[in-house]
């Protein structure tokens, strides 16, 4: 579905001339999102970001490991030393972003918990 218009994914056909126009005017590229834009706040946004960063870093680390094994077996490595270092640093940076996002999320949870606890204490008094 593009812009609320049903599109036959097998053929690309649309159901009416108006639908064809709507599809032709919609962007050719839309970035992939795990979570619908209306839910990209709070824990859902965190989960979506962490999933992408962790999975991407995992793929990079597996590729680096394969490259190292190739080098150890006297085969051509996937990366030269310079690019291997860049990919390692990118993976480290991704893990730091995850750590920072989780830390901010815990801080928000703590503040919300303290606020709820204080409100409950006032209500019981």
Residue 114 dihedral angles phi and psi, to the nearest 5°: -65, -40
Dist. CA 36–CA 48, nearest whole Å: 10
Task: List the beta bridge partners of residue 2.
Answer: 5
Grade residue 79 by pLDDT with cuts at 50, 70 and 90. very high
Residue 75 dihedral angles phi and psi, to the nearest 5°: -100, 165
The HSE-up count of residue 2 (CA atoms within 13 Å, CB side) is 20
pTM: 0.60
**pLDDT tens, position by position, 26-53:** 777 776 777 777 776 666 777 878 888 9
Cβ proximity of 84 and 64 under 8 Å: yes
């Amino acid at each position: 579905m593009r812009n609320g218009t049903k599109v036959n994914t097998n053929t690309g056909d649309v159901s009416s001339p108006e639908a064809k126009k709507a599809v032709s005017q919609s962007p050719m590229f839309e970035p992939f999102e795990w979570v619908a834009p209306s839910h990209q706040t709070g824990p859902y946004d965190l989960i979506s970001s962490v999933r992408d960063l962790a999975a991407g870093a995992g793929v990079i680390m597996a590729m680096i490991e394969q490259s190292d094994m190739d080098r150890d077996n006297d085969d051509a490595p996937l990366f030269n030393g310079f690019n291997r270092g860049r990919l390692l640093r990118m993976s480290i940076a991704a893990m730091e972003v995850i750590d920072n996002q989780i830390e901010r999320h815990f801080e928000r949870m703590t503040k919300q918990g303290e606020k709820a606890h204080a409100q409950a204490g006032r209500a019981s008094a």
